[in-house]
Amino acid sequence: MADENVTASENTNEITEQATTPAAQASKPAVPSPAAMKPHAPSPAAFAKKTPSHPAPAATGTGFSEADVKAAEAFGRVSDDGTVFVKEAEGEREVGQFPDASKEEALALYARRYLDLKAKLDLFANRLKSSSVKSREIDDSLKTLSEETEQPAVVGDLAALKAQFEALKEEGAAKKAQLSEARKAAVAKAVAERTVIVEKAEALAAGLDSNTNWRSTSDKFRSLFQQWQEHQRNNVRIDKADADALWSRFSTARTAFNVARRKWAQTRDAERNEAKEAKEAIIAEAEALKDSTAWVETSRKFSELMDRWKKAGRAGRREDDAMWAQFRAAADTFFNARQADRDQISSSEKENLAKKEELLVKAEALVPVKDEEAAKQARQALAAIQEEWDQIGYVPRDEVRRIEGRLDAVDKQIKAVEDAAWKQSDPEADARKSSFEEQLNAQLTELDAKIAAESDPKKKAKLEAEKATKEQWLNAIK
């Protein structure tokens, strides 16, 4: 797994929205800029008349309704020298001077400034309803509006303006409390989600054993690390203590995996080296055997070498492929030579088979024999055929029983005639035959008497079966 530098604390920066400046919040063209609300240097005409030091601000546009302007003007007046006053609960307060314009123009200007300030409060009231407003924005806006509503240089209902501002302060506090609760919930959710990532990593680390698929597990850890980074970038920033604790757990699990993987790799390398040495020894033995012509013994040895090869384990894909090619080449040299020898033997055996089949034709022509003299002549001819048969050599294994059986059949036919002739000329055999015949005749006579005297059908049938058997023996020796 590619390690990436990650600090225990959050790397993402929370985006802080800056409080909207008064000039930026006033969207209507009639609203004067903050500079216009501050005293200017006196105009040349003002110097000529030796007016007081309050400058005449720039005139604003007409973004408000005439009714709104008139309502605001009711809270102010303009003196003959152009000084503008606003009525408050404590009395009047001078808010500015506009000597180069008529009283109506001067009063209208400061009335519109009041409406501008009220528009800022209205805009902030709407902003508080937004889901994207931030606590810092609320604080900054309230600070700015507090300064602007403290002693504003405007003409209008200042009591209502300040009351609205106080209400906004309460709404802002409530909104901040709401945002605080929402943030707590979001932080808790983020902690829970990141904890799930950590627990998956810990489960992977706890499940490591000899059957672990290290490549697959490495990919899973890499995926979890990417999830961690994406979650850190795209979610609310959690407390540093929680972030550090969770990262410590994740890092510990990943370190445990890396340590176990390195240990496995070291063990695997040792096993591969051992397997390589064992297979190199097997190859050396195979090279020494490849030119042997002791087909049976060497075939057995190559079979043993193959068993040892399978038990030796793997030495790495490249090394295994190269060493297997060496071992296979040595084995092929031997087995190809053995097959060539077998092919040669097979060809010779087929030739031998053809020769023996020719001899079979001659042997089978000797039978049947009719008498003892013919049997003697057939025996002499068969003996010559058998001698030539033995000198021919081996035939294919699957043909041995067939051709040997045919030759044995000829021998048996000749021997049957020879045995019959010998029995006829053997006096001892005649004596044994006569004695046996007398015994059978006596037993048959006795059986006839028992059969005649027996009344039980089952016993009588058994005696009759015995009599039939002895009669067959008597007929066979006659």
301 or 478: whose pLDDT is higher? 301
Please give the pLDDT value at position 236. Answer: 86
What b/e readout covers 299-330, taking b as 16+ CB neighbours within 10 angstroms? eebbeebeeebeebeebeeebbeebeebbeeb
Q: Answer positive or negative: Cα dihedral of 453, 455, 459, 462.
A: positive
Tell me the one-letter amino acid at 327: F
Domain ranges of the chain: 64-181, 192-267, 272-341, 365-424, 429-467
Among the ranges 77-86, 333-342, 449-458, which has the highest mean pLDDT value? 77-86
Please give the pLDDT value at position 214. Answer: 87
Residue 38 has pLDDT above 70, yes or no: no
Q: Global pTM?
A: 0.45
Tell me the one-letter amino acid at 134: K
Q: Residue range 347-368: average pLDDT?
A: 87
What b/e readout covers 283-293, taking b as 16+ CB neighbours within 10 angstroms? bebbeebbebe
419 exposed, middle or buried (CB, 10 Å; 0-12, 13-18, 19+)?
Answer: exposed
Cis peptide before 22 (omega within 30 of 0): no
144-194 residue pLDDT tens: 999 999 999 999 999 999 999 999 999 999 989 988 888 888 899 999 999
Phi, psi of 185 (to 5 degrees): -65, -40
Q: Beginning with the edge strand found earlier in the chain, give each strand of the sheet holding 76-78 in spatial order.
A: 76-78, 83-88, 91-97
433 or 125: whose pLDDT is higher? 125
Please give the pLDDT value at position 56. Answer: 35
Which of 80-89, 264-273, 324-333, 468-477 has the least mean pLDDT?
468-477
99-136 residue pLDDT tens: 888 989 989 999 999 999 999 999 999 999 998 889 89
Which of 179-183, 403-407, 436-440, 455-459 has the least mean pLDDT?
436-440
**Tokens of residue 274, six digits:** 């051992």
Please give the pLDDT value at position 269. Answer: 86
Q: Answer positive or negative: Cα dihedral of 106, 107, 110, 111.
A: negative
Question: Residue 92 in 3-state DSSP?
Answer: strand
Please give the pLDDT value at position 364. Answer: 86
CA 97 vs CA 184, 239, 406: distances in Å: 52, 54, 148
Q: Residue range 432-453: average pLDDT?
A: 81
Which of 284-288, 379-383, 403-407, 417-421 has the least mean pLDDT?
417-421
